Every structure is written in structure tokens, then in C-alpha cells.
Amino acid sequence: MKVIAFSYNIDDSEKAMLGKVSYFLSAFRTMQKMEPFSFKLTIDGTVIQDKAVMILVGNGRYIATNELPYEKSSLQDGLAEIYLIKNTNISLLKDVLTLTTSNSDENLSSQLQLFQGKKIMIETDESMDIDLDGEVYLSTPSTIEMLPGHFEVLVP
């Protein structure tokens, strides 16, 4: 996905000085240059064909240490959250930054769509690299399948 460009665009001196803020700066710089790409997304058998600048698939309410404002997101439900970012502009950035868990369900922007599913297949016209938590070793087409209870995790 285009998300890979965020990882490649991080300035090491910025990262050392600013920590996780450097990821937001990288994202902002990168998003200004991104062009939408065509994709076919199959979520539990439902097909979505469209264009986006980024497809983000996650599980849970956090990206790194940043809480996402989607109240229904849970590690326990066996569902991944799929965020489609259709366009990048200041209006979308403002919408995302002002979302809270109390208003996120009703106020997702038309440029930001959210889906949930157990089996997700991502296809693009041209093969695109996929960033998995900062590591790049997959590319499209790719299938993601949630495996509830697959790992035992100890928590405090």
C-alpha cells in the first residue's frame, strides 16, 4: 500500500529528536504528494472497488501509542478494522484530528471510510509494497485473515 511511503520518508535526526511526532510529520509530508490508486478489496465476500491514497488494516484501538477514535474496535471481537483513506487534504486531516470516541461512528468523513471483517483480500492494479508495523516484506495482492484465540497474550 502507499502506507509504505511513510516508513521511507522518516528523517532519522527528526526521529531521534522528536520520537513518535516524527511519524506524524512524515505522514503529513508524504500525504501531500500521494496520488490515489485503484484497488479491489474483498471483505468477508463483499467486494469494494474504488480508489484510495491509503488502506490501513489493523486490530484494536491503537496505531503505535495513538488511540484511534473508533469505539467498536476491539482486540477480542475477531474482526480487523479496515480504514480507506480516499483523499488527502487539510479538511480530512482536521476531521480525523477532531474525531473522538463519542462522535466517531457518526462523523467519519466521506474521504475516510471504515469497515470491519475477518478475511480481507487486497488487490491493486500494480503490485504495491505493504508495511507491517514498519517492516516491508509483503506486497499486493495479499490476504489477511483474523485468527481469534490464535495467540495467548499475558497482560498486567
Give catalytic residues, as residue numbers.
Answer: 135
Report the C-alpha gap between 15 and 154 in whole angstroms: 30
Report the C-alpha gap between 20 and 42 in whole angstroms: 32
What is the rounded (10 degree) CA torsion for 21, 35, 136, 154? Answer: 50
Report the C-alpha gap between 123 and 155 in whole angstroms: 35
User: For 13, phi and psi rounded to 5 degrees?
Assistant: -70, -35
Do the Cβ atoms of 46 and 62 come closer than 8 Å? no
Alpha helical stretches, state H, 34-112: 90-98
User: How does DSSP classify residue 148?
Assistant: T
